[in-house]
Structure 1
Amino acid sequence: MVVEVEISSLSTAGSPRTSGADPEHVETLAEVQTPLPPITVHRSTMRVIDGLHRVRAAELRGERKIAARFFEGDEADAFVLAVESNVTHGLPLTTADRKRAAGRIIASHPQWSDRMIASVTGIAPGTVAEIRRRRPGGRVGEVSRIGQDGRVRPVNGTEGRRLASRLIAQDPSLSLRQVARAASISPETVRDVRNRMMRGEDPLPGPRRGNRKQANGTEVPAAGRGGLRPAAVACRNPVQDRAAVLDRLRADPALRFSETGRTLLRLLTVHMMSPEEWDAIIEKVPPHCGGVVARLAGECAEMWAEFAQRVERKVAETA
């Protein structure tokens, strides 16, 4: 929704454009007779996300108010939107500003892949990777990242394969997608791991095999390992797995910045309950309406199952 805001209430601090407004561009906009597009403002801080030059042009024309749209997210996402907006249209950010912005986004959204940050900042993925490497801590502790397509992928595919092999050894009945979600790898990679295990092979392709540490800290050479080996570690809590995936989805701008995306996140959040919490709800269902509740729950489950199938088909068609 577009509203009129007092220019005096706006803040231009924290802009990715470190050199400030370009005077020549401001004068050019001030001479435009037709209405300029609304600016974008972060509601909680009243910072200008997109439209610094339009604000300065309005001031130059002596105007006290300007048309604006409000952004409701947090400050980190507001900065991401500011960078993306000033890369795709208007007076582009300088290369130096884009690199500085990439460093800031790496700090605020470390789970984003190099390609995803590159798509926002307008620099090459290799440049983003180099900026990430130069930051204190570098890639330490990273397990997976969210790609430009919204999919979660492991930083180290080797660890994902190893986790998948342990999960399969513990519970062979798990589906490819269940293992893929827990190990943050693709279902096809899980399929390859499972096939290797069935043939008695190492779950890692030859070049990626390395020494593996046992529980006592000693290393077992790859050549000395057999095929199937029972896992010595417990499987992760599935509720924690789902919560971790949901946290990554909440960080995805494609979902955060749209009403439909936020609706989907709210629906998924409803189901982030432990078995104990579900048991407590079941205990409180009145007997006289238990049948109706069970039928509605079943219908909801069927709708979610159909939703999952349709989303999977869409992913397969666009892959």
Structure 2
Amino acid sequence: MTNFAASLSREEFDYLDGTASAGPVVRVAIRALRVAGSPRIAGENLEHVRTLADTPDELPPIIVHRPTMRVIDGVHRLRAAKVRGQLEIAVRFFDGDEADAFVLAVRANVSHGLPLSLAERKAAATSIVATHPHWSDRLIASVTGLSAKTIGEVRRTVKTPQPDRRVGQDGRVRPINSLEKRRVASNLMRADPSLSLRQVAKAAGISPETARAVRTRLQRGEDPAVRQPAGAKKIEDKRHIRPAATPAPLPDRSTVLRYLRTDPTLRFTETGRTLLRLLDVHSMSNEKWASMVRNVPPHCRETIAQAAMECARVWRTVAEQLERNSHGPL
């Protein structure tokens, strides 16, 4: 089994988020392509095919698994091309294995196009848990558009052996049950209280923050290796509370947008998708905005400046309304 991060380039991963293009686009004969293994249980939507076929513009490239020539993403676009009478279609190739190709198909159909139904996403999650048991619940949730809790429930029904470590969304490998490592850390601290948090963390195989939590519980007379009951209020170690400082910088626009795209309440509603499309327009880097400003023709600058000010006013109004109603319905 391949590691997803190794089989998917960063560019291909970002393409599925709608933030970048992946690989060269080539023209491929339609008769050379296969349609199989789709995450869509209900099959193709003929109305959607007709809508795409009637679109005057050229449709975006489909993604094809090169080793099998199977369509990963874009079956509806392929059918629409046939309706149009095309002999060829624009394609981007994916060279990973079939398990990762299925993951790519699910992610593509969750993040754009005609969304998968809840039943289809749950069925896809079952397959991915079986083929990628080393992935964390949150990572699989981000691919399938489900909650991490739902993935955990799905995992309990799958009979595939589960590893003792999983890969998280940040690419880091973490133990599933860290209680034993906490016990090791607590024993080290009892044996030598002079050890630093970093020394304990390295020896026990935990993070410095986890080591800090272990030390805090020891100082309160609690057993660090006993899991706290769900919903238990965390007691902060007052000695480690730092005075208020300047607020942490907000994440950049592209990071915020990438996070919002993982929210199914936005992705699977028309209002949410419209909002994401509008926000996507404004997610360009400051350098790109500066380049765009420099290239505005002189005779248009004043008009575009006025239009931009009006757009800014509208967005400010939207932001103020959302802030006023952030804790209740609009």
In the superposition, the TM-score normalised over structure 1's length comes to 0.56
Q: Distance in 2 between matches of 1:42 and 1:57?
A: 20
Aligned-pair CA distance for 1:97: 1.0
Query: Could you tell me which amino acid in structure 2 is paired with residue 190 of structure 1?
Result: A
How many residues are matched?
Answer: 206
Q: Distance in 1 between matches of 2:190 and 2:35?
A: 56
**Secondary structure of the corresponding residue to residue 135 of structure 2:** coil
Q: Is 1:21 the counterpart of 2:44 in the alignment?
A: yes
1:171-197 Cα deviation digits (max 9, x unpaired): 999985676467553221124446777
Give % identity.
59
Equivalence map 1:186-225=2 (5 Å): 186-193=207-214, 204=224
**Secondary structure of the corresponding residue to residue 4 of structure 1:** strand
Residue ranges of structure 2 left out of the alignment (5+ in a row): 1-23, 229-330
Which deviates further from its counterpart, 81-90 or 110-119? 110-119
Q: Is 1:134 the counterpart of 2:157 in the alignment?
A: yes
Aligned-pair CA distance for 1:129: 1.1
Aligned-pair CA distance for 1:148: 2.4
Equivalence map 1:111-150=2 (5 Å): 111-136=134-159, 142-150=163-171
Query: Could you tell me which amino acid in structure 2 is paired with residue 88 of structure 1?
Result: S
Residue ranges of structure 1 left out of the alignment (5+ in a row): 209-319
Contact 2:165 2:176 in 1 (8 A): yes
1:76 counterpart residue number = 99
Contact 1:38 1:66 in 2 (8 A): yes
1:141-183 Cα deviation digits (max 9, x unpaired): 5422222233333321212313445778999999856764675
**Secondary structure of the corresponding residue to residue 90 of structure 1:** coil
**Secondary structure of the corresponding residue to residue 70 of structure 1:** strand
Q: Is 1:64 the counterpart of 2:64 in the alignment?
A: no
Check 1:205–1:82 CA distance in 2 against 1; reply closer, same or farther (3 A cut).
Answer: same
1:217 counterpart residue number = none
Contact 1:152 1:185 in 2 (8 A): no
1:247-294 Cα deviation digits (max 9, x unpaired): xxxxxxxxxxxxxxxxxxxxxxxxxxxxxxxxxxxxxxxxxxxxxxxx
Contact 2:63 2:72 in 1 (8 A): yes
Q: Is 1:11 the counterpart of 2:34 in the alignment?
A: yes
Query: Could you tell me which amino acid in structure 2 is paired with residue 106 of structure 1?
Result: V
2:262 counterpart residue number = none
1:153 counterpart residue number = 174
1:199-220 Cα deviation digits (max 9, x unpaired): 7978625556xxxxxxxxxxxx
Contact 2:64 2:94 in 1 (8 A): yes
**Secondary structure of the corresponding residue to residue 26 of structure 1:** helix
Contact 1:154 1:184 in 2 (8 A): no
